[in-house]
Structure 1
């Protein structure tokens, strides 16, 4: 891990992401509160989530095609600049009459963001050696949890003390900071021109890319064919889809579970989510130190299975033995295996995909995960009142146990790993 912190380009990417995500959490926490205070409408508040969520499903897979055509560092730089400038119209919001501006800005920001994450995930393997993928992903994940802890706490405080406009400015400044970090990077020529060298047709100017939709469609299908052709990627995508449905249910019904089963209030709800971050940070520290010594696929199914079992305990134990200290302990404990499987599935997607296709694979990953989460949210909304929170929340823990069994059985049946897969994944068949 210390070797990674001596890599200038990686540290710049990591630090920029930390500041940017902290700014994002300031706004994510502050906006729903502001909208509800201004409108008093739950519908108006929920619309912020829907508008920000739709581009994840509709655009992220296609965005990955462009990420593979363009210089990834330059893509991130331009997108972060657009994200910063795109927030500024929110400074014109002064009440209910101008709230329509907020929804336009959120949709624009969400569309631009679809290019950032695939570009970052595809750029990371160009900044570190392959044997450092696991600790590098662990450190990137750690910055996400730190940003969530700090940004979520500060978002409500800043909104109440200095107002929405200053929260918007802080988030915009965080995007400009990322641009500065990216400008300070010094990438080798091979990392900047890898796509153009392999396919001269893809090196055409950005102004003509959007007029070649037939070529774009072909490249999108190329990414889909890779997933369909490579058995391990297929298994990982099925695992991702199944578990994200469970996550969609969990995110929708946890607050009801806390209220009706744990008899807690909003303070308890926020506290449980916060202390899970402690387990996530501890798990990431363990992954960064020891994760690269283990087989990624084996670690994935074991950690996912442990996560699922602890999740089932979280939901079912309070029915027979309601004890808040035990529930808090389980929320910390579940964060540790969560860190292991999230880091290792990210590493597997990076290792199993050749560089020129990584943007498309990560864009598809984002689209599949978002669509599955939406299905989970819809199931929670349709069945939550009829079945209650406990039976549906058991589906989340069950989805991880099922996903773990799926990967274990795939390994036992002897997936024919390609040479590149064999370097990262131990075939235990």
Structure 2
């Protein structure tokens, strides 16, 4: 871990971004636990839980073209601060939910929150390369960001479950709001380097969108890499975790403690995934691509074990394995994109990356909810189907990357793909 500490010591601007991520990611999981509990408490439908995650996923998908242009045209630092402050206000609205008749408010506020989040994520991913230097630091920075998200999943989900279960959902929501404000304060301290490209007029925003899509179309490996997160989401874990906590391994009021423990196990796996993979990755495209391929296999095996799990600890181990693969794919797809894509396109490419991810997540949770509510399949049987489906992305991944053994290096211009 010494190399990660050295990076934080030597790159103070990156350190502020990282500290902001620590508190923001923790708050995100307090919010996830709290809203899932509210839906489980005031509805009696798996589809209702799925609808919550769709409400979180669709706004980023629909707004991704605009979000990418904003990230490439305006100060990314200002975008991050503004979105944090607005979200801090929005999440306090969940405190008004006090019965089944208020269930609509959960979805309305969730949509509003993630409309704003749609602008945050591309800007955060695009600003990171400007705060560090070189390929090695880029790999370390993305790994640290990934394991930070994972650590906050482990700690934030566990603490969120405990706080919501012991002190109540309102306390968890207030902590979530405070985390956004602290994140904004930390990002405000970043002294971002001037942008290489001049910021133009928004009147040409549609042309910017077209240029971004054209860039991806002409660089098929970049397009496939931007799809890795989406392909890993065949079988989103969110609804399965919610269903297992509510129906199979109920532990704590409304399954709050089981929900927190399952998310915590997933977070631990997401920490171990890139840390373990980094032992075998040497900076070449071949090793990065191979690690992503193995990540797809780990996701499939995790679903297989999850469907068989006879106890909560085994289910936690299955989620650990599944998220080792998912986190590895998330981290290395980011590295590949940041190395391949010129800065002037980076916001738009990451917006596409995030859009595909959220669309895949929305479709996955929706169909999972429909299957569980309207067919004879139980959650365990669905897990077995997800294990099979998670292997399918291996075919296009291996085929398109079969002849790309060259070492990657940052390039000032538009690299070949």
- Tell me the TM-score normalised to structure 1 length: 0.79
Match of 1:221 among 210, 220, 223: 210
**Partner Cα separation in structure 2 for residue 136 and residue 292 of structure 1:** 15
Match of 1:145 among 132, 144, 150: 150
Structure 1 segment 90-105 matched on structure 2, within 5 A: 90-93=94-97, 95=99, 101-105=105-109
**Partner Cα separation in structure 2 for residue 97 and residue 313 of structure 1:** 38
Query: 1:73 and 1:255, CA in 2 relative to 1: closer, same or farther beyond 3 A?
Result: closer
- Larger helix proportion, structure 1 or 2? 1
Deviations along 1:232-264, one digit per CA (max 9) or x if unpaired, are: 1133245444332x133x54456768999xx75
Query: 1:83 and 1:220, CA in 2 relative to 1: closer, same or farther beyond 3 A?
Result: same
> What is the SS of the residue equivalent to 2:235?
helix
Structure 1 segment 383-422 matched on structure 2, within 5 A: 383=371, 385=375, 392-413=382-403
1:156 equivalenced with 2:193 (yes/no): no
Which residue of 2 is the match for residue 83 of structure 1? Answer: 87
1:57 equivalenced with 2:47 (yes/no): no
Query: 1:256 and 1:315, CA in 2 relative to 1: closer, same or farther beyond 3 A?
Result: farther
Q: Could you tell me whether the CA contact under 8 Å between 2:299 and 2:323 is conserved in 1?
A: no
Deviation of 1:365 after TM superposition, in Å, equals: 0.9
1:230 equivalenced with 2:219 (yes/no): yes
> What is the SS of the residue equivalent to 1:62?
helix
**Structure index of larger Rg:** 1
Which residue of 2 is the match for residue 360 of structure 1? Answer: 348
Q: Could you tell me whether the CA contact under 8 Å between 1:243 and 1:396 is conserved in 2?
A: no
- Unpaired runs of at least 5, structure 1: none
Structure 1 segment 90-129 matched on structure 2, within 5 A: 90-93=94-97, 95=99, 101-129=105-133
**Partner Cα separation in structure 1 for residue 213 and residue 116 of structure 2:** 22
Deviation of 1:309 after TM superposition, in Å, equals: 5.2
Deviation of 1:157 after TM superposition, in Å, equals: 3.0
1:178 equivalenced with 2:180 (yes/no): no
1:315 equivalenced with 2:315 (yes/no): no
1:277 equivalenced with 2:267 (yes/no): yes
Which residue of 2 is the match for residue 33 of structure 1? Answer: 37
**Partner Cα separation in structure 1 for residue 108 and residue 391 of structure 2:** 40
Deviation of 1:94 after TM superposition, in Å, equals: 5.1
> What is the SS of the residue equivalent to 2:401?
helix
Query: 1:375 and 1:3, CA in 2 relative to 1: closer, same or farther beyond 3 A?
Result: same
**Partner Cα separation in structure 2 for residue 89 and residue 323 of structure 1:** 37
**Partner Cα separation in structure 2 for residue 426 and residue 327 of structure 1:** 43
Aligned length: 403
1:4 equivalenced with 2:7 (yes/no): yes
Which residue of 2 is the match for residue 293 of structure 1? Answer: 282
- Unpaired runs of at least 5, structure 2: 252-256
**Partner Cα separation in structure 2 for residue 331 and residue 254 of structure 1:** 9
Query: 1:78 and 1:5, CA in 2 relative to 1: closer, same or farther beyond 3 A?
Result: same
1:376 equivalenced with 2:376 (yes/no): no
Deviation of 1:127 after TM superposition, in Å, equals: 0.5
**Partner Cα separation in structure 2 for residue 419 and residue 8 of structure 1:** 24
Deviation of 1:383 after TM superposition, in Å, equals: 4.5
Query: 1:332 and 1:219, CA in 2 relative to 1: closer, same or farther beyond 3 A?
Result: same
- Tell me the TM-score normalised to structure 2 length: 0.81
**Partner Cα separation in structure 2 for residue 279 and residue 401 of structure 1:** 19
Deviation of 1:323 after TM superposition, in Å, equals: 8.3
Q: Could you tell me whether the CA contact under 8 Å between 1:304 and 1:400 is conserved in 2?
A: no
1:348 equivalenced with 2:348 (yes/no): no
Cα RMSD (Å) of the superposition?
Answer: 3.7
Deviations along 1:333-374, one digit per CA (max 9) or x if unpaired, are: 444444332211111111111111111111111111122223
> What is the SS of the residue equivalent to 1:366?
helix
Q: Could you tell me whether the CA contact under 8 Å between 1:18 and 1:144 is conserved in 2?
A: yes
> What is the SS of the residue equivalent to 1:194?
coil
Deviations along 1:61-83, one digit per CA (max 9) or x if unpaired, are: 32111111110011101111111
Q: Could you tell me whether the CA contact under 8 Å between 1:312 and 1:394 is conserved in 2?
A: no
Structure 1 segment 131-142 matched on structure 2, within 5 A: 131=135, 132-142=137-147
Q: Name which of structure 1's ranges 23-32 and 67-76 shifts more when overlaid on structure 2.
A: 23-32
Which residue of 1 is the match for residue 254 of structure 2? Answer: none
